[in-house]
Amino acid sequence: MAQSYIADPFAPHRRRTREVRVGEVGIGGSNPIRIQSMTTTDTRDTQATADQTELLVASGCEIVRITAPSLTDAENLAAIRKELDRRKIRVPLVADIHFTPNAAMVAAQYVEKIRINPGNFADKKKFAVREYTDTAYSEEIERVSKKFRPLVRRCKELGRAMRIGTNHGSLSDRIMNRFGDTPAGMVESALEFLDVCESEGFRDVVFSMKSSNTQVAIQAYRLLATRLAERALGEPSYPFHVGVTEAGDGEDGRIKSAIGIGALLVDGIGDTIRVSLTEPPEAEVPVASAIATLCSEAWDVAAKVGDPGAPFTADPYAHSRRVTRSVGPPDAEIGGSHPVRVEIDLGAVPSDPKRTAEALVRSLKKFPDLACEGLAVHVSDPNTVGSLQAFSDAATDAGMSIPLTVRVGPDNTAQWPPCVARVVVRTDAACDHALLDAAATRCAASHIPLEWNLHAELAEIPDQVDRALEASARAGLDEILVSVESDLPVHATRLVAARLEARGASDVPIVLRHQRRADDSDETAVLRAAHVLGASLCDGIGDAVAFDGFGEPARAVDLAYRILQGARLRTSRTEFISCPSCGRTLFDLVETTERIKARTGHLVGAKIAIMGCIVNGPGEMADADFGYVGSGPGRVNLYVGKDLVVRNVPDTTADDRLVELIREHGRWVDPA
């Protein structure tokens, strides 16, 4: 079965894993999702690193990672541990290793877990293009395993755990040449190292498959889950450390993290998580905790829902948007080749159409580049229908013509004015065929598209989809869309897509409706919206997103576009890829990121990376168009794509030089 990465894609069940002990903290098995973060101090600075670790623990961090770029750093982990003991702080430490196997051997004496990166543990990144014969490839793997085996033996002997932490941006040249920078390459890279661990009888292993591209991260974790399950059929698998790397800062960093981590957690994938923000590390912890709580609350609560008759996607390991037909009048088409539309829900029909329309237009003008492409109003009182045209006309008079959608119950019999572009009919299990038929017939007669808005428990969804399709067919109505509202929206949306596919209606567009929960804080509301909508969008499902209850219209529209960009579906602003910084960082990353954002934040579509060091930065910045990477104290290297074009420019002039570079490559526009 295509979706074998999890037992059931239509209901949230936790992936079955073995427990891996990291000192006194268990990862996987029946343990809760563990929250971790990483220090940004110089590892040789014992006091500063202990201070930051203490701060992290106080904020709820359960496992703390510290970089060990050299033998000296690795040796100093002993002093850090001693200082933490003196302060009575009991938290497992993880040494982060890149390029330095000898530092790993030392660090293993002092910390509970070693993180290695298979892309650079035994390989130097040269971006070399080379054809490997099968023999040459096997010899390379043998060389790598010789370098890695002593560490495995040491970890086994000392009772240490290990994370095989693959990053999309730092795959070895060997893997790149054979698999490309693909999820398959990431998985292969990790499994080569697992082979060595298992050959030594060492199974205290946790995996990660990080990328700054949410879709790639999701696909790689899924693929790894499948490959591991195939290696040990029926056995609990290895736990996963889940994260989106270089997510950036602020709301976009939180949104990207919630999309990537959330999409995996809703499938029960993820045993420990780290949110990587370009902010002080203690700021990551509450975000990670909130995502973990939001996305795991339904694990194993829902009953099995049965087979909807088709998979929800043809390939869960690659992103492809459902192929749908275009529905609606020419100025309000949804589906087909149109980008995912952004709509907002205004609630009841405005009692003062002119005032509401003017306020709406004023609000939306705050983001003139972000189009609000649809507006929904709820018509529960037939006496308010008369105000619809007045509201639409007032919006046009105020300078904005926005297609109007009306939301109604199934028994509504109103005649719609010409401004109505779509009718959303709420249905549930109690609606009888006659009501559905009447709603479909009315829309067919007035040539208005109908969105069937299903309110259903998971188990009821296939039947509700069938009834909506059958009522549409009896009325001769082709112009239909479907949306679903459920306590488990990601799984409910998959069930809709799967059932439409099973009924030969795979081209019916799906609208993702999201209503803010009244009791959510502002940050929780953003994380919830991002993980719910992002998961479906990354599944390839969704022709429009519609927000309800996010207050000011401009806020809802802005949030929708941020989520679409985080899910890599619609670009509306500059994409910043910035590392969270660590002990290797050569400048103040938070301040530098803010500065560069202020200069370049208007370059819609440009991808700009800001990375703390040249050891990992160039590899990790993945598909950035331009890179600003610390090359030494006070010095910066500038990249165009993967090419280093300006070396060691002083940091005092590096921002200007970056702008020049963007200009030279024809990507600069002056800010409005």
Query: Of these, 350, 449, 566, 580, which contacts ligand SF4 (CB under 6 A)?
Result: 580
Q: Is 448 in the site for ligand SF4 (CB under 6 A)?
A: no
Rounded CA-CA distance 263/634 in Å is 39
Q: Is 616 in the site for ligand SF4 (CB under 6 A)?
A: yes
Query: Of these, 296, 581, 600, 637, which contacts ligand SF4 (CB under 6 A)?
Result: 581
Question: 33: burial class by Cβ within 10 Å (0-12, 13-18, 19+)?
Answer: buried
Please give the backbone phi and psi of residue 10, each rounded to the nearest 5 degrees, phi first. Answer: -105, 5
Rounded CA-CA distance 641/596 in Å is 17
Q: Is 582 in the site for ligand SF4 (CB under 6 A)?
A: yes
Residue nearest to ligand SF4 (CB): 612
Please give the backbone phi and psi of residue 116, each rounded to the nearest 5 degrees, phi first. Answer: -115, 155
| Interactions with ligand SF4, residue window 618-637 (CB under 6 A) | 620
Rounded CA-CA distance 162/27 in Å is 11
Rounded CA-CA distance 91/22 in Å is 9
Q: Residue 61 or 448: which CB sits closer to ligand SF4?
A: 61
Q: Is 212 in the site for ligand SF4 (CB under 6 A)?
A: no
On whether the CB atoms of residues 396 and 366 are closer than 8 A, the answer is no
Q: Is 613 in the site for ligand SF4 (CB under 6 A)?
A: yes
Cα atoms found within 13 Å of the Cα of residue 218, Cβ hemisphere only: 32
- Closest contact distance (angstroms) between CB of 260 and ligand SF4 is 17
Size of the residue set binding ligand SF4 (CB under 6 A)? 13
**Measured in Å, how far apart are the chain's first and last C-alpha atoms?**
52
Rounded CA-CA distance 656/665 in Å is 14
The DSSP symbol for 602 reads T
Tokens (6 digits) for 120: 């650079």
Q: Is 590 in the site for ligand SF4 (CB under 6 A)?
A: no
Where does this chain touch ligand SF4 (CB under 6 A) — which range of 350-358, 528-536, 565-573, 611-619?
611-619
Q: Is 612 in the site for ligand SF4 (CB under 6 A)?
A: yes
CA dihedral 435, 439, 444, 450 (to 10 degrees): -130
Where does this chain touch ligand SF4 (CB under 6 A) — which range of 113-121, 229-237, 358-366, 574-582?
574-582
Rounded CA-CA distance 224/215 in Å is 14
Tokens (6 digits) for 571: 């670009």
Q: Is 509 in the site for ligand SF4 (CB under 6 A)?
A: no
Query: Of these, 224, 439, 498, 611, which contacts ligand SF4 (CB under 6 A)?
Result: 611
- Closest contact distance (angstroms) between CB of 321 and ligand SF4 is 32
Q: Which helix (H) or strand (E) holds 511?
A: strand 511-515
- Closest contact distance (angstroms) between CB of 580 and ligand SF4 is 6
Q: Residue 68 or 611: which CB sits closer to ligand SF4?
A: 611
- Closest contact distance (angstroms) between CB of 612 and ligand SF4 is 3
Rounded CA-CA distance 557/343 in Å is 7
Query: Of these, 585, 593, 600, 631, which contacts ligand SF4 (CB under 6 A)?
Result: 585
Where does this chain touch ligand SF4 (CB under 6 A) — which range of 99-107, 419-427, 503-511, 612-620?
612-620
Q: Residue 615 or 649: which CB sits closer to ligand SF4?
A: 615
Which of 400, 470, 464, 412 is closest to 443 using CA atoms? 412
Residue span 34-53 as binding mask against ligand SF4, x where in contact by CB under 6 A, dash where not: --------------------
Q: Is 584 in the site for ligand SF4 (CB under 6 A)?
A: yes
Do strands 450-455 and 511-515 pair parallel, antiparallel, or not at all (unpaired)?
unpaired
Query: Of these, 617, 625, 626, 636, which contacts ligand SF4 (CB under 6 A)?
Result: 617
Give the footprint of ligand SF4 on this chain (CB under 6 A). Answer: 579-582, 584-585, 611-613, 615-617, 620
